[in-house]
Amino acid sequence: MPLTWANRLANAPSRRSYRYPALLLLVTVVWGLTFPVLKIATGVLSGVEITTLRFCIAAVCMLPFVRGVSTNAWRDGFLLGGLALFSMAAQAYGLQFIASNRSAFLTSLSVLMVPLLGLLLGARPRLLIFVAAALACFGIGLMSYEGEANLWADAATLLAALAYAVYTIGMSARAPMHSAVQLATAQVCCMAVMGLVWMALDSGGTRMANLPHVITIEVLCGLVFLGAIASAATFFLQALSQTHVSAEQAAIIYAMEPVFAALFAWFLLAEQMSSMAQLGAVIVVFAVLLSQRPEALAPTHEAPAGLAP
């Protein structure tokens, strides 16, 4: 018997159910915009220096909220921040030896790792989530896969993908236990401290002392954007949204990052996309839409067994 309009309205997802996926999509828009900014900053700063300085600026933005952060939030912020920073460090190492497009493809495998890890930890992702994740990886592969292999660089980049997959699962498991602003504050502050240690070991005291002399106004504005918007604000939106969005769906939404990166590179840097890359972008968009269908939705309040408190 066909559904009446009243039944359809009653069974339709509420607008609220799309609010948090939309916020995560906004996060990927911001991440996509970081690529042109990073391209300018890498002219005078190393990847380690950019990463550390952006999180120091993010930590300054979150200082007003530090006093209210609970001990448990500091613990989870340290663990999550450590995973995110390790992912960035491993990816930065790999980028020294392989093409950025190859790095982007290997990193995107975290989209598929999230539901597989969730399955190992006791979660029950829907079949449609696996289909959407595989499509997202395939689409990113069409957009970005190129370059010769390098065993250690490829391994480091795959470790980066694995670390970010664990981070995504951990965020969905831990975010409901804390205020979003507290968890975001703990993460960026811990990442700033760990980043300073990392930069001191990598760059040395002399280079760190000379940084104020090599940073131009243009680069400084880029770092402020990376720290305040692309780090502090996005970590807050992730902590807020992944309370309501499963790790599997969040990972697929994050696959939109290279799509927005390509669009901004075309608009701001006049970089071109091949026909194959455009097809890949369409496939990624389709995968994200597929992951938001009602039959793909799974309860988001149940953490995988391996990450439950």
> Which sequence spans correspond to the domains of the chain?
19-297
269 band by pLDDT with thresholds 50, 70 and 90? low
189 band by pLDDT with thresholds 50, 70 and 90? very high
Q: What share of the chain is helix, strand, coil (3-state, %, to 5)?
A: 80, 0, 20
In 168-298, DSSP assigns E strands to none
N-to-C CA span, the chain: 45
CA dist., res. 173 & res. 259, Å (int): 27
Q: Give the tens place of pLDDT for each residue, 86-125.
A: 988 888 788 778 766 677 777 778 888 888 887 777 777 7
User: Mean pLDDT across the stretch 168-186?
Assistant: 92
SS3 188: helix
Mean pLDDT of all residues in the chain? 81
How much is the pLDDT for 228? Answer: 94
How much is the pLDDT for 69? Answer: 93
Kindly give the interhelix angle for 257-269 and 275-291, rounded to the nearest 10 degrees. 140
37 band by pLDDT with thresholds 50, 70 and 90? confident
SS3 246: coil
CA dist., res. 257 & res. 246, Å (int): 18
Provide DSSP, 192-204: HHHHHHHHHHHH-
Neighbours of 81 (CB within 10 A): 26
pTM equals: 0.78
How much is the pLDDT for 78? Answer: 96
Q: Give the tens place of pLDDT for each residue, 291-309.
A: 766 655 554 444 454 455 4
